[in-house]
Amino acid sequence: MAELKEGILKLLKNYGMTDNKAEEYYKKQVKEIKKVVVKEHVEQLKQECVDVLDEINRTGEIPGLVF
């Protein structure tokens, strides 16, 4: 992961950003990506809960959990 970060920072610097601006931009983008990933994961969990509730309503039984 550190190699990826260094590569991205190097690329940003090659396009004219200062060290501080590149680092700031990188941190901002990572923060946004984390928000999107968490939001998508929450949506997936919500859908899984809805699917389980649908199964309970359809069959009247609690489905077995698979781990």
Tell me the per-residue pLDDT of 7-56, one tens digit each, with 9 for 90 and over.
999 999 999 999 999 999 999 999 999 999 999 999 999 999 999 999 99
Q: Which residue has the tokens 């970060």?
A: 5
Q: Which residue has the tokens 């039984």?
A: 61
Cα(34)–Cα(16) distance, rounded to whole angstroms?
Answer: 26
Tokens standing for 48? 């899984």
44: buried, middle or exposed (CB in 10 Å: 19+, 13-18, 0-12)? exposed
From the DSSP assignment, how many helices (H) and strands (E) are in the chain? 2, 0
- pLDDT for 49 equals 92
pLDDT over threshold 90, residue 66: no
pTM for the whole structure: 0.67
Domain range list for the chain: 2-58
pLDDT over threshold 80, residue 58: yes
Q: Which residue has the tokens 């998508």?
A: 40
